[in-house]
Amino acid sequence: MYKLKNYLLSMQSHWMINQPTYKAVQETLPLIAEYRTNNGLVDMPKTPVHKVVKKIYPEIYRVPLFRRHFCNLLVKEIELMKREISFEGNADEDKLRQIPEIVLKEQCPELYRNMWFVVKTVLNPIFNALWQRNCADPTTIQIANYNLVDKKQGAWHHDDSSDISVVVPLNTGSYEGGGTAFHNYGKINPLPVGHALMFPSFINLHKGLPVESGDRYLLVFWLCDKQRTIELYESLT
Using CA atoms, how far apart are residues 87 and 144, in angstroms rounded to an integer? 8
Query: For 48-82, how does the pLDDT look when each residue is reduced to its tens digit (9 = 90+)?
Result: 999 999 999 999 999 999 999 999 999 999 999 99
CA geometry: angle at 191 spanning 189 and 195, to 5°?
160
- Among 84-88, 151-155, 176-180, 208-212, where is mean pLDDT lowest? 151-155
Q: What is the mean pLDDT of residues 189-198?
A: 98
Q: Are 194 and 168 in contact (CB under 8 A)?
A: yes
- Edge-first strand order for the sheet with 137-146 is 54-57, 60-64, 195-200, 164-169, 216-224, 137-146, 101-103
String of DSSP letters for 3-16:
--SSGGGG--SSTT
Give the pTM: 0.91
Q: Are 104 and 112 in contact (CB under 8 A)?
A: yes
Indicate if the pLDDT at residue 131 is higher than 60. yes
Using CA atoms, how far apart are residues 147 and 139, in angstroms rounded to an integer? 25
Query: For 28-53, how does the pLDDT look when each residue is reduced to its tens digit (9 = 90+)?
Result: 999 999 999 998 888 999 999 999 99
Indicate if the pLDDT at residue 89 is higher than 80. no
The answer regarding whether domain 15-236 maps to CATH 2.10.109.10 reads no
Cβ neighbours of residue 64 under 8 Å, at least 6 residues apart?
A: 18, 20, 21, 52, 192, 194, 195, 196
User: Is the Cα torsion angle 185, 218, 138, 84 positive or negative in sign?
Assistant: positive
String of DSSP letters for 89-111:
--TTS-GGG---EEEHHHH-HHH
Indicate if the pLDDT at residue 235 is higher than 80. no
Query: For 97-130, how does the pLDDT look when each residue is reduced to its tens digit (9 = 90+)?
Result: 567 889 999 999 999 999 999 999 999 999 999 9
Indicate if the pLDDT at residue 26 is higher than 70. yes
Using CA atoms, how far apart are residues 212 and 160, in angstroms rounded to an integer? 28
Domain ranges of the chain: 15-236
The letter for the amino acid at 5 is: K
For residue 223, the cross-strand partners are 138, 164
- Give me the pLDDT at residue 202, please: 83
